[in-house]
A and B are shown apart, each in its own frame.
Chain A
Amino acid sequence: MDDILLQILNGLDKGGAYALIALGLTIIFGTLGVVNFAHGALFMLGAFCAVAVKSLLGFEKVVLDPTKLTAWGTPVEIRTPYIEAWFGDFGTQMLNFSVPVSIIIAIPVMLLVGIIMERGLIRHFYKRPHAEQILVTFGLAIVLQEIVKSQFGANPIPQPAPEIAKGMVDFGAMIGLQAGGVVYPAWRLIYFLFSLLVIGAVFSFLQFTTFGMVVRAGMADRETVGLLGIDIDRRFTIVFGIAAVVAGLAGVMYTPILSPDYHMGMDFLVLSFVVVVVGGMGSLPGAVVAGFLLGIVQSFASMNEVKAIIPGIDQIIIYLIAVVILLVRPRGLMGRKGVMEQ
């Protein structure tokens, strides 16, 4: 029982990440009709916002100690982050909270990245065939990740969660089960809540603002909205920016779970497409539902009891589910007819 509850938590946590990435991707599909293979790269850029913030915060004052030598004969460097040198404990706290702090930085940065990307490149590909959209965004993804690699190297870079969120939370006790049975890392619970928050924010933005209404109308029927004299293109630029922010935030918050490296975007790319398609092209609720569904199913498939029956099921479960769903429901869980079927 405890094991099952734990796997549900794992699934929700994983699903939160899947849903956030897929949400941005499907917004771009739905509104702009663009197949964005650079979406994984946006997730990766978000994660590297955290890396950059941490290294900026941790910018070190280097003092050479001539009395001690390194193994290769140069004086030992004594490094203290400036921020600690200047602000003392507050500085240490800032470093400790670098991941949450990164969120504040990542929002404007990712928005800007998204806007530049849309204005500079994606815009010119609205009317182009999907194959060309794939090629150009894939090219962009490679370029972005190579730039990151040349700056930060290929190795994963650890991004610890703040000390306060490093511990475990006795989730079982909170919901009235026996204490100690279901304990779960605080940061992962935070990630799950955070993903709900972002999903909620995106939905209410689209649901309750006039801007959102226009965008939703644009998703449903772009030409008509254009005929109404609304400058839909400009709004779509913002929409792309928002999608980039959502992907970026997913990336920032994920860094304590997965040490970021330049290649992580590609690893999530295929998965996020599967999530979006299982959810149904252009359906925002579909993307969210599919994200959590696949997360939970993947968690359960990894249980020893399940693997004992079908060896290797955890390797293929995501794809198996995708195939089954697409065969049973032609347009995914909540897809609309005619979107991306050509």
Chain B
Amino acid sequence: MFCRDAVKLVAELNQTEDIKPFNEAVFRQVLEEVQSLFEENSKDVNTITEDNTAPKNTLLVRHYAMNRNKRCLLTYLFHRMRRLRQARWELGSIIPPEISKNLIKPEAQWFHNYNKSLATYMRTIGEDGLNILNDIQPPKSLYIEVRCIQDYGRLEFDGQSVMLKKNTYHLLPRSECESLIRQGYLEHVSS
């Protein structure tokens, strides 16, 4: 049956929320399938005569298959792009290597462009711009208790500084740790 490979790509999206390595092999196979469908159609289109309209049906089937393939490919790209966009919002402008190693060049390029347009937009807010991706949670207290779950190093703030080493416990200004918590260096502890 047509489009078996194409659906594999979509099924892959359905399996996890992660950005997995770009499935180039399957992606290329699908493109090849589209090409051969197209070529066969160009060949068969000449066999249509007034008496024999049957090839039209075949052409139609192949046409639908091509569209279906295209839809799967673009859906694959679209969702990877949306996931990458989510990572940008949650983790900041530098993507961790675990993600970036799974991207192909045009995707990395897309990320770069997206970053740029986001930055351009944020600069227009107020006089000096506002990073709207900073305050994700409504503030409850200015200081929060955090547990360091991954070595980070020295964190500087307000002329003070603190060493964030794995398995230490801190009370820190909320604004300083929010992004570190989202990046998985710190864990917010409620007592």
Does B bind A? no
List residues of A whose CB falls within 8 A of some B CB: none
